[in-house]
Amino acid sequence: MSARSSPTRTPTRSRRQESFVEYEERPGDTTQDSEFHSSQDGRRGVRRAVNVQRKQSRAPNELDLLGSWTPLEENAEEAAEAEAESSGEKRKRYETSDDPMRAWRRLAPMFLDEILRHEGPGDNTEKCACCQERFEEESRRFRCKSCGVFTQCLGCEWKGNFWMRIGLASLGVVYQLGHGGYPCPHAAPAERSMVVLDFPHIHEIRFRYCACNLSDHANNLQQLLRNGWYPASTVDPATCATFATLDVFRLLNVVGDLTAHDFMRTMELTTDASGVSEAPDRHKTLRLVSRQFAFLLRLKRAGRAHDAGGLEGTARGECAVRCWACPQEGINLPEGWREVAPEFQFLFMLILAMDANFRLRNRLRPNARDDPPLGPGWGYVVEGTGYKRMIVNHVPEKDVSTCIAFAALAQKETRLTTGLRASGVGAVICARHELLRPQGLGDLQKGERYINMDYILLASLMGVTILYLAIAYDIACQWRVNFQSRCAKFPAEMRLDFDSTKVVYGLPVWHATAHERSCQVENSLTYQTGVGRTDGEGTERVWSDFNGASTAMKEMNWGAREDAFEDKVDRHNFEKNVRQGTTLPRKLVIAIDERDRQLAAFDEVDHTLDPELRAEWEGMIEAWKADRTKRNPYQWEDAKGTSGEAAIRLALAKEELEEAANGRSAVHKSSASAFMVLGLQLEEHQDRIRREVKGRPLLTTEHNERVTDMRRTFYVKLKRFRRLQAMYMPGAVEQLRDAEEGRDSDLPPPLAEDITLCLPSGLVSPAAGDCVDGLAEKEGRLREGQLHDGIKTLRSKLHAKRHLINYREEHLVGQRGGTRAATLIERVTVIDPVLGQG
């Protein structure tokens, strides 16, 4: 390696001389560095050797390494193998190779201390490693992490133009540990080989440990760690990865979901893109050390290295990054917050959201070794022992849904999980800021069972003092029913105190649209007091961040998978916290503007109300708030859809079936209600024909053909209707016969759209015996259902028209966009024919 530079300014006597370090390219000088600096008058250069390594004699190697080789006799190898098999001796087992994680856990505190050591100046604080000058109090110091851990002064900063890459081992360079760039007065005699992963290259180097008493009696592992090299083994390591490399891989892994295999493959190709020289295979090594390194960083950020209790004193969830904005007593809550007036209690409400993700499943491996997580329960994943004990002792409960049929409920005990150790994960987040809660993540064994979600929720609330709690869940309307009684079955330290905590349940805004209308009005977060603009859909946005790693996590052992979750969630939570300084002010501005708009709209309507009506409505609202079992004033009567035409048809069919079963009515091939439905369909058919020919004095050939087909279809249905009409409406037959006899025979027969159907409401002088009993009542109920459907359609069209107008005003410009918008608005403005009849 060679690097040269020249002075960029003329030095003066009042300034300290400029120094320039020159690394020679001559192989013979690889045991020292050369320093070059100009004299004070700038007329001559001075070069001297620094970091000189003391040469030691080495035993000469035998030139002919195969000189003592003697070939075996024929069949001697087979005889040796047979003798070894017959002896029955088994290969020795070593913990460091069979279970390296178990051997490493005992040394984890020492590893953590050494990693924390790099945050300070270390032992190299007296003089510059390049120019050997002692630091003064006002001296500026810096450290190049790519060069080593030794400290340099500003005057020795290199400003060259290029580096020529060449392998250190091929030059005979021996790296000395233990002195931060200085020579060791008593280095270990043995030279060792080491593969160092230093992104973006893989290096094979020679090095020596320090054997003197000047390195603070550090053992071999500590010497490597203090040099910024993370050893892959705790016993005689032959591979290390630099801290910078592990930092880069961790970021690529948690942000870009890059696997260890892809990262190592990239380093191999960067080291030798041609692939001619085979790089050392360290894929498994990187997976091992990167998992340990990420775990130690989480401990360091949580302050565990400074705790007198050590790592074993870590409490559940202590290593998790908590939400900075969620209410935490003693941190961000004012004094007297417990006695705040009821109208301001929402300011201290903790809003959580729950959901399950079945993409983050994990395969069951029959030959997988026992590989527990490094910090069980210390972060975001629930502690496994108590969780599994609770799941095993759980007795399935049968639930009866009072809302629509949910797949989450139907498959919670029957979901196909063949070959899976975990079918997915459940999570609890803070709904306002979308950070995962400590102890807020857990595996699901089958479907989205209540026992799993209950445990994860209660574990995430352990150690938290809350008086006001809101929970958003996409099946909250069913999950909340027996939640209080289910909580009583959990350990005492996990139970939620419902006497002192006010709990509000809600449906996420988008998921609420899949529920019945009455359920939406009752449970949607849109209508819950105190949650503001929180939509409860934050879990979906969190899952979108995690789903990219689902393929890799599916194949991991359970311990590695939990550690991967911990690291990914740790990055997610920290980023969310940092960005709150930008997102919260923006949300505040939007909320204030929307509040002003809503108040103005409310005042405009409120001024038009009669004072007595306003007082009546206010009384209904207050009564409903005090007792939720009373009628919801915000819910209109047909919210459950019981007055629509389809619902009335179903009700009439059930009534007729019951009457036929009890023998109270004659059984015909077509029922009376089916006859009335057919009559109403024929009326609607006539309306469609009228709309086709309305305003068209001359029909084109294509249009005329379409009208003809519609009329032909009408006549086919009319023939069947007339047969049923003779059975259910004898009086109508006589009335139609009289009308036909009174018609002028010279006139053409009436068109399909002009034919009189003569339904019960169309009888001129209805008398007893003209219709079967109850037929007129059925017609009235069906027409009422049509009117309700028409009103709903009108409401929908008005909402759609308002949305299209707003979209046109905000986004469309020019004639082309305006014409398209006008066409769409015209389509939704057409009044439904049934509503027009009403």
What is the tens place of the pLDDT at every residue in 29-48?
445 555 555 556 656 666 66
330: left (phi over 0), alpha (psi -120 to 50) or beta: left
Cα of first residue to Cα of last residue in the chain, in angstroms, is 94
pLDDT surpassing 70 at residue 217? no
Taking residues 195-211, report their average pLDDT. 88
What are the residues whose beta carbons fall under 8 Å from the beta carbon of 566, sequence distance 6 or more? 294, 295, 298, 319, 373, 375, 379, 380, 381
Nearest to 114 by CA among 369, 283, 367, 297: 297
Burial (Cβ within 10 Å: 0-12, 13-18, ≥19) of residue 835: middle
Token pair for residue 234?
A: 């705790």
- Give the burial class of 264: count Cβ atoms within 10 A of its Cβ; 0-12 exposed, 13-18 middle, 19 or more buried: buried
The DSSP symbol for 529 reads T
pLDDT band, very low/low/confident/very high, at 596 (cuts 50, 70, 90): very high
804 to each of 794, 814, 818, 821, how far by Cα in Å? 15, 16, 11, 7
pLDDT at position 251 is 94
What lies within 8 Å, CB to CB, of 521 at 6+ separation is 527, 632, 634, 635, 639
In this structure, of 110-124, 483-497, 623-637, 661-675, the range with the lowest mean pLDDT score is: 661-675
Give the whole-angstrom CA distance, residue 593 versus residue 182: 65
In the prediction, which pLDDT does 37 show?
Answer: 58
Report the pLDDT value the prediction gives residue 832, as an integer from 0 to 100. Answer: 54
Paired with 210 in beta bridges are: 187
Q: From edge to edge, which strands make up the β-sheet containing 424-430?
A: 436-444, 424-430, 350-357, 468-473, 502-506
Encoding tokens for residue 342? 């009821």
Q: What is the pLDDT of residues 307-320, one digit of tens each?
A: 888 888 899 999 99
Residue 160 has pLDDT above 50, yes or no: no
Q: What is the 3-state secondary structure (H, E, C) of 383-397?
A: CHHHHHHHHHCCCCC
Query: Is 494 within 8 Å of 386 (Cβ atoms)?
Result: no
Query: Residue 11 has what pLDDT?
Result: 42
Mean pLDDT, the chain, as a whole number?
80
Largest Cα span, the chain: 135
Please check whether residue 101 is in contact with residue 371, taking contact to mean a CB–CB distance below 8 angstroms.
Answer: yes
In the predicted structure, residue 482 carries a pLDDT above the cut 80 = yes
Q: What are 441's strand-pairing partners? A: 381, 427
3-state secondary structure of 786: helix
Q: Quick: pLDDT tens for 657-672.
A: 777 776 666 556 778 8
Query: Do 412 and 478 meet the contact criterion of CB atoms below 8 Å apart?
Result: no
Q: Tell which residue, 151, 304, 149, 129, has the closest CA to residue 226.
A: 149
Q: Is the pLDDT of residue 3 over 50?
A: no
Q: Which residues contact 427 (CB under 8 A, 6 or more apart)?
A: 354, 355, 356, 357, 436, 440, 441, 442, 456, 539, 542
> Which residues, 6 or more positions from 578, have their beta carbon under 8 angstroms from its beta carbon?
none
Query: What mean pLDDT do residues 107-116 have?
Result: 84
Distance CA 47, CA 793 (A): 93
Segment 334-363 shows an average pLDDT of 91
CB burial of 5-18 (b: ≥16 within 10 Å; e: otherwise) equals eeeeeebeeeeebb
**pLDDT, tens digit, 9 for 90 and up, residues 404-450:** 656 656 566 656 678 888 999 999 999 999 999 999 999 998 888 89
Q: What is the rounded average pLDDT of the residues 212-220?
A: 73
- Position 274 confidence tier, pLDDT thresholds 50, 70, 90: confident
- Per the CB < 8 A criterion, the answer to whether 245 and 197 are in contact is yes
DSSP annotation of 123 reads: T
Residue that wins the pLDDT comparison between 142 and 13: 142
Per-residue model confidence (pLDDT) at position 45: 60
- Where do we find the tokens 């006002």? 138
Phi first, then psi: what are they for 373, rounded to 5°?
A: -65, 155
- pLDDT of the residue at 402: 65
Reading the block at residue 623, the tokens are: 């009564």
The answer to whether 814 and 783 are in contact (CB under 8 A) is no
pLDDT beyond 60 at 834: no
Q: What is the C-alpha separation between 447 and 411, in angstroms, rounded? A: 6
Q: What does the pLDDT read at residue 29?
A: 42
High-pLDDT (> 70) share of the chain, % = 76
What average pLDDT does this structure show over 761-788?
79
The encoded tokens of residue 784 equal 């009422």
Burial of 777 (C-beta count, 10 Å sphere; 0-12/13-18/19+): exposed
Please report the pLDDT score of residue 625 as a whole number.
83
The alpha carbon of residue 262 and the mean position of all alpha carbons in its chain are separated, in whole angstroms, by 23
Instruction: Give Cα 696 to chain centroid, integer Å.
Output: 58
Pairing status of strand 33-38 against strand 45-50? antiparallel
Q: Residue 70 pLDDT more than 80? A: no
Instruction: Show the tokens assigned to 541.
Output: 């946005």
Q: For residue 631, is pLDDT > 80? A: yes
Strands 502-506 and 424-430: unpaired
Q: What is the pLDDT of residues 4-15, one digit of tens each?
A: 343 334 444 444
What are the DSSP E strand ranges found in 229-388?
229-231, 239-242, 350-357, 362-363
Please say whether the beta carbons of 507 and 472 come within 8 A.
Answer: yes
State the Cα–Cα distance between residues 66 and 70, nearest whole angstrom: 9
Distance CA 671, CA 677 (A): 10
pLDDT at 608 over 70: yes
Question: How far is the C-alpha of 834 from the C-alpha of 790, rounded, in Å?
Answer: 6
Strands 201-208 and 174-176: parallel
User: Phi and psi at residue 67, in whole multiples of 5°?
Assistant: -65, -30
Distance between CA atoms of 223 and 214, rounded to whole angstroms? 12
Percent of the chain at pLDDT exceeding 90 = 26
Helices marked H in 324-449: 384-392, 407-410
Judge residue 179's burial from the number of C-beta atoms within 10 Å of its C-beta, 0-12 exposed, 13-18 middle, 19 or more buried: buried
Highest mean pLDDT among 123-137, 160-174, 282-296, 810-824: 282-296
- How large is the average pLDDT for residues 362-369? 83
The reported pLDDT for the residue numbered 13 is: 40
674: Cβ–Cβ under 8 A, 6 or more apart, which residues? none
**In the 8-state DSSP scheme, what is residue 154?**
G
Give the whole-angstrom CA distance, residue 112 versus residue 171: 34
| 509/403: higher pLDDT | 509
pLDDT at 378: 93
What is residue 785's predicted lDDT score, i.e. its pLDDT? 85
pLDDT at 355: 93
Mean predicted confidence (pLDDT) in 275-292:
85
Q: Global pTM?
A: 0.67
Q: Which of 372-386, 450-464, 742-756 is the least confident region?
A: 742-756
424 within 8 A of 358, measured Cβ to Cβ: yes
Distance CA 222, CA 210 (A): 11
Per DSSP bridges, beta strands 350-357 and 239-242 are unpaired
